[in-house]
Structure 1
Amino acid sequence: MLLVNELHVTHVRGRRVDPPADRRAALEEAFTRQERALDEVLTEEDADRLADVAAELHPAFTGDVATLNQALVRHAAVPSLHGDPPVLAFHAPGADLVDAWAADAGTALAMVIGVGQGRRLRSCEAEGCELVFFDVTRNTSRRFCGLSCQNRAKATAYRARRRT
């Protein structure tokens, strides 16, 4: 979700946003906000390639499994154990940073879909917002990425009802 929301989305909470000019800095800032550390040095070329990966993965949030399958093949997603102690990853041991991230992220999405939880992968339904999220509500009823989009949508619906 982080890759898609940071590098691919062009409308956020009713406003048009341009993709970041410095993708590397945007990703590093996003990881810092999420209190996660980058294990490797991220180059400008890696960041540009990750923007392409984000575009590849975005359709999975709307149920397009064919595109997700193509991404899994393209980035050689294979389960393997890495390191000491071994850690399960879904990329080849020699994969570069971008292919590793793409394979791991694509496999995570495929696993969510494969266990029947694909309906929890959502895109915000508010007009003018393309953010994606994982719906954690008990009955999978979440429609918006956050309260600001929910409030905007409800206010718009209220005003429309008042006019008629």
Structure 2
Amino acid sequence: MELAVLLVNELAVGEVRGRDLAQPADGAARRAAVLAATARLDRPPAGSPTAADADRLAEVAAELRPVFGGGPDSVASLNALLVRHSAVANLHGEPPILAFHQPDASLVDAWAADAGTALAMVIGVGQGVRLRSCEADGCALVFFDVTRNTSRRFCGLSCQNRAKASAYRARRRA
């Protein structure tokens, strides 16, 4: 799940916390962004993408973006992504780990299959409403809502505070 959120937020989001975000312009910049983001994970995915891999991962991220928020074609596009990247459950490595890609899959296919399968499992168990996009104006970050009653609306406190301050100012004007 973390990988899907990371890829979308790093490679497919144009607005963050009220500011336009310039997407990495080329494969080298995309690679640097992905490496920096995966380094922050508790359990980073295996492998280091090349610049060409980062370009392909940006395409995967753009395909995964509509799944957050449950667009009308999100399930069909997610299914197509799973087929295209040969998602299949298996154990490999030492000690064995559960993965959703072939042991000999390319890095892009492995990351896409794993991220897509994580999203499919969330949707498949009826928790697709937890795949959210920030509701603050000017922010398109995505997240997985882990609150007990699925009430999280914003990606973080800064967006929540901006939205509440904006609503307060609107009420004061009226």
Same fold (TM > 0.5):
yes
Does the CA contact (< 8 Å) of 2:100 and 2:110 recur in 1?
A: yes
Q: Determine which of 111, 115, 121 is the counterpart of 1:105.
A: 115
Structure 1 CA distance, aligned partners of 2:43 and 2:89?
23
Structure 1 CA distance, aligned partners of 2:40 and 2:17?
19
Structure 2 CA distance, aligned partners of 1:75 and 1:154?
42
Please provide the CA RMSD for this pair: 1.3
Matched, 1:25 2:32: yes
Matched, 1:12 2:16: yes
TM-score normalised by structure 1 residue count: 0.95
Over 3 Å counting, the alpha-carbon distance change for 1:15 and 1:140 in structure 2 is same
Identity %: 73
Number of residue pairs matched by the alignment: 164
1:23-102 paired onto structure 2 within 5 Å:
23-37=30-44, 39-63=46-70, 64-102=74-112
Does the CA contact (< 8 Å) of 1:59 and 1:68 recur in 2?
A: no
What CA deviation, in whole Å up to 9, does each residue of 1:24-78 have, x standing for no partner?
A: 1111111223354453232000011000000011111111212111111111111
Structure 1 CA distance, aligned partners of 2:32 and 2:136?
28
TM-score normalised by structure 2 residue count: 0.90
Query: Once structures 1 and 2 are overlaid, which stretch shifts more, 44-53 or 60-69?
Result: 60-69
Structure 2 CA distance, aligned partners of 1:44 and 1:56?
19
Structure 2 CA distance, aligned partners of 1:86 and 1:139?
35
Structure 2, unmatched stretches of 5+, are none
Counterpart residue type for residue 52 of structure 1: E
In the TM superposition, what is the alpha-carbon distance from 1:84 to its structure 2 partner? Answer: 3.2
Structure 1, unmatched stretches of 5+, are none
Q: Determine which of 151, 157, 172 is the counterpart of 1:162.
A: 172
